[in-house]
Structure 1
Amino acid sequence: MKYVSFDAFRTLHLPDVHYIKPEHMFRQRAEIEAAEWVLFPEYWQVNALVFGLKKRIFPSLSAYLIGHDKVQMTRAFQMVVPGHTPWTLIEPNDPQNAERVWDQMPSPFVAKIPKSSMGQGVFLIENRADWNAYLAKTPVIYAQELLPIDRDLRLVVVGGKLVAGFWRCQGHDGFHNNLSQGGSVDAETPLPQAAIDLVLKVAEELEIDHAGFDVAMVEGYPYLLEFNRLFGNTGLQGLSQQVSAAILEYLEAANDHDDDDDDDPKHPTPPMPIAV
């Protein structure tokens, strides 16, 4: 058995995959231990699989840890590509910090709930009423400058390679670009090379092997907004099949690399443990 999957939908087009319901993880431990890779576990499973069973998971551990919420993600971006990260203030949500962030961040600005997706936790803050309504919803203050854009890029990266990309144009509200929030797809306008280079650099440095990166372009300069470890496949026709093919290529290449290392004298077989 090569692969165990905890997400039947995302591994539908992959061969040699045995699907296990996440809640059956402990019941089917033997099948998991026999697999070369464990695919798409849920977040709550990761520690048990990686540290308990020493299993290789896909997406990578980095993708899970960094992609868990926008706070972790933005701090990682600020460390590796600070010049390509929008100005962001992250603070505990208390009255003192709320007032300080309000005074520092020019209006209008963007506020986000750290653990949210599909644009549901992203708010345009134009006045005090907007700010107070946001503060009542979030455990952590996440305020970010509003970039002068009417669209952004979704770039899909798997195993260090760009699989697909498209522009997401603003919906009727004049703010959200997410397709789930009324945004639309522009697959005809060329993808800027500067955005592609930025995303591939960040994916490599942070060891993110499966993600949909969102990039804003301001006068030809790319700003990295966030990435989604579990991104939607509705933006382009055939995207799901393209992603599956890229996943399979990446996993098989990793397996071949491991086989080469086994035959390499620089990577000798570890000695057998001493019986006591």
Structure 2
Amino acid sequence: MKLITFDPFRTLGLPGVRYIKPEHMNQHRETLAEADWLLFPGFWQINSLHYVLKRPIFPSLSSYHLGHDKVEMTRALQTACPEHVPETLIVASDKYGIGQVLDQWRFPFVAKSVRSSQGMGVYLIENRQQFLDYAEREAVLYIQKLLPIVRDLRVVVVGEEVVASYWREGVGFLNNVSQGGRVRTDLSVPDNAISLVEGLARYLGINHAGFDVAMVDGHPYILEFNRLFGNTGIPDLNQRVQQAMSHYLLGEPSSPPSSDSKVSA
């Protein structure tokens, strides 16, 4: 099995992986063309690797294209499972879009930058001036209903497996661990959230992502997913991810899930 990675830190646990710097890609065209898998290319590389060299890439093309920004992601989710997406408006940041938001939405609501992760570029908008300040910075307005939650779920998918799921709880508006949120290990994860993510990931062909899920009165809402997710949520998450990657890419048997795999870990 010939594996080539463009991100050595994401593939540390995989045996026999060769690292090629992304910017040196065209100096190794023959080697790349003979590879069984090309791992973690940059977004700018995927068209050449997939359409020209016709090699399989990991994460999948769907993971890249649908997860490239929040606009593409949300439109796909609204088509696939509209009942599991919070009410969202996406419009241009011009006088018409700004007017539409001010006419149709009540404060408070959530506003997001279309390309951001780890809780950055996510804002709680509580008044007109905050919204106008946000609109001045952004070319696209991404407005979403503020859900009545104090914590959310992170569900990690690698290959065709849910390898971990856990609650995140913040001190303020954001629950991201990178923004000071903490992992709750004393709360069980609802089965319907796991089933939703597992089924959606397989249907859309997403094979490496961390899904953020909100639960409102027992109903799961997918907030977003991140193709490149952090591994600091639970102590052994990195090992679980590496095992699932080996199973998916190399056909190695995966370890049975631990008894706490659905309880914050």
* Fold agreement, TM-score > 0.5: yes
Moved over 2 A (4+): none
1:162 to 2:162 alignment:
yes
Distance in 1, Cα, partners of 2:217 & 2:50: 43
RMSD after superposition: 1.1
Distance in 1, Cα, partners of 2:216 & 2:9: 36
Greater Rg over alpha carbons, structure:
1
How far residue 70 of structure 1 moved from its aligned partner, in angstroms, is 0.3
For residues 138-191 of structure 1, give each alpha carbon's deviation from its aligned partner in whole angstroms, at most 9, with x where no partner exists. Answer: 1101000000000000000111211001111013xx201111111111123111
SS at structure 2 position matched to 1:27: helix
What is residue 223 of structure 1 aligned with on the other side?
A: 221
For residues 229-275 of structure 1, give each alpha carbon's deviation from its aligned partner in whole angstroms, at most 9, with x where no partner exists. Answer: 00000101011111011011011239xxxxxxxxxxxxxxxxxxxxx
1:235 to 2:212 alignment:
no
What is residue 268 of structure 1 aligned with on the other side?
A: none
How far residue 2 of structure 1 moved from its aligned partner, in angstroms, is 1.4
SS at structure 2 position matched to 1:9: helix
Distance in 1, Cα, partners of 2:105 & 2:20: 47
C-alpha contact 1:150 1:170 (8 A) present in aligned 2:
yes
- What letter corresponds to residue 10 of structure 1 in structure 2? R
Distance in 1, Cα, partners of 2:64 & 2:95: 31
Distance in 2, Cα, partners of 1:206 & 1:126: 35
Return the TM-score normalized by structure 1: 0.89
Distance in 1, Cα, partners of 2:190 & 2:111: 27
- What letter corresponds to residue 168 of structure 2 in structure 1? R
What is residue 108 of structure 1 aligned with on the other side?
A: 108
Return the TM-score normalized by structure 2: 0.93
SS at structure 2 position matched to 1:214: strand
What is residue 199 of structure 1 aligned with on the other side?
A: 197
What is residue 181 of structure 2 aligned with on the other side?
A: 183
For residues 20-75 of structure 1, give each alpha carbon's deviation from its aligned partner in whole angstroms, at most 9, with x where no partner exists. Answer: 11111011222211210000000000000000100100000000000000000000
C-alpha contact 1:164 1:239 (8 A) present in aligned 2:
yes
SS at structure 2 position matched to 1:98: helix
Q: Which runs of 5+ in 1 are unaligned?
A: 255-276
SS at structure 1 position matched to 2:26: coil
Residues 26-35 or 86-95, more deviating: 26-35
What is residue 57 of structure 1 aligned with on the other side?
A: 57
What is residue 257 of structure 1 aligned with on the other side?
A: none
Distance in 1, Cα, partners of 2:210 & 2:154: 6
What is residue 97 of structure 1 aligned with on the other side?
A: 97
Report how many residues are paired: 252
For residues 58-105 of structure 1, give each alpha carbon's deviation from its aligned partner in whole angstroms, at most 9, with x where no partner exists. Answer: 000000000000000000110011000000000111011111112212
Distance in 2, Cα, partners of 1:202 & 1:104: 30
Pairing 1:17-166 to 2, within 5 Å after superposition: 17-166=17-166
Distance in 2, Cα, partners of 1:23 & 1:62: 23
SS at structure 1 position matched to 2:114: coil
- What letter corresponds to residue 156 of structure 2 in structure 1? V
How far residue 126 of structure 1 moved from its aligned partner, in angstroms, is 0.3
SS at structure 2 position matched to 1:185: strand
- What letter corresponds to residue 86 of structure 2 in structure 1? P
Distance in 2, Cα, partners of 1:40 & 1:191: 29
Pairing 1:1-16 to 2, within 5 Å after superposition: 2-16=2-16
Distance in 2, Cα, partners of 1:46 & 1:168: 32
How far residue 18 of structure 1 moved from its aligned partner, in angstroms, is 0.3
Distance in 2, Cα, partners of 1:209 & 1:92: 31
